[in-house]
Structure 1
Amino acid sequence: MASLLLVCTANICRSPMAEAIFKAKLGDVFKTITSAGVHADPRGGPVDARAASALARHNYSLERKWRSRRVQPESLGEYDMVLVMEAEHVDALRTKAAAEHHARILLLTDFVPELAGQDIPDPYFGPVAGFDVVIGMIERAAQRLLTESREGRLRLS
């Protein structure tokens, strides 16, 4: 089974929400599902309270001891797929990753044709409703990946 890394900026909103959703929906597809942030605080911290509340409203949860963490470029080769929230994250990781790992670093929305190329918006500085919008976008991508996996079309490096 494959391993998946989900990446956002600080690993306190979008990528932890994606981690919870992907574990719930794709736990049978990926052996390992985890998240990290391009610029996460190296000391680690809890998930944003608004993100945790949004997850609870949608019947998802993170492990009780969950802590944010920073992406370690040297570990990118350990994952079969690295899905990121923004095009800027793709660029940042590909700059740091070994060339042979570039193809596995993808924008999450590229799996949803009507969202392809779009960033998952960062809800941190916006209204609480933004967290629900982000969950909806992540759920669409997770469902699409699940469908592709079931149909044998999911390509993992």
Structure 2
Amino acid sequence: MLKVLFVCLGNICRSPTAEGVLRHKLHTAGIRDGYLGNIFIDSAGTGGYHIGEKPDKRSRKAAEKYGVSLEDIRSRKLTLQDFTDYDYILGMDQENIYNMKALAPEEHHHKIRLFMEYGENCPGITEVPDPYSGGLDGFDRVYNIIDRGADGFLKYLTTNYDL
């Protein structure tokens, strides 16, 4: 089974949105995820500020506009075991990448990538900005960036794996 982990700082805005969006796209494409499927999608934060909490209500609201539910997602902190367990560990920005590489054993550094390396139709966007301190429009913008990143990542996965 292929395992993908999205990572941001607190695991309440960007990474749970990416988890929900990719799950939605997989289901739309007829690909089962979870322990009974061929792919497992999860998210975590480099900080443990919101452990056990639902995603930020503004993230949930932005996702709901597009038919994506984040209701079953709960925040958790990235663990050392995650670097062994996951095949792709996708950070939302360079700070996340830096923090993960500082924690991860060297043999797992190749799994750590910027999520937007897979983005399509988003020239110049290399990171997903953190919308936490802003208004609702920032969450809508982040959703749209993540949606394009997920399109590219799903294309990459279906080209390179038998899902």
Q: Is TM more than 0.5 here? A: yes
Structure 2 distance, partners of 1:82, 1:43, is 19
Aligned to 1:62: 70
Q: Give the gaps of 5 or more residues in structure 2.
A: none
Aligned to 1:144: 152
Q: RMSD over aligned Cα, in angstroms?
A: 2.0
Q: Find the partner of 1:81 among 83, 88, 106.
A: 88
Is it true that 1:127 corresponds to 2:135 in the alignment? yes
- The offset of 1:149, in angstroms, is 2.6
Q: Give the gaps of 5 or more residues in structure 1.
A: none
Aligned residue pairs total 152
Structure 2 distance, partners of 1:16, 1:67, is 8
Aligned to 2:78: 71
Aligned to 1:101: 108
- The offset of 1:48, in angstroms, is 0.7
- The offset of 1:8, in angstroms, is 0.5
TM-score, normalisation: structure 2? 0.84
Structure 2 letter corresponding to 1:6: F
**Where has structure 1 moved over 3 Å in runs of 4 or more?**
113-117
Aligned to 2:119: 112
Structure 1 distance, partners of 2:69, 2:104, is 30
Cα contact 2:10–2:44 (8 A) shared by 1: yes
Q: Percent identity?
A: 34
Aligned to 2:5: 5
TM-score, normalisation: structure 1? 0.87
Q: What secondary structure does 1:73 align onto?
A: coil
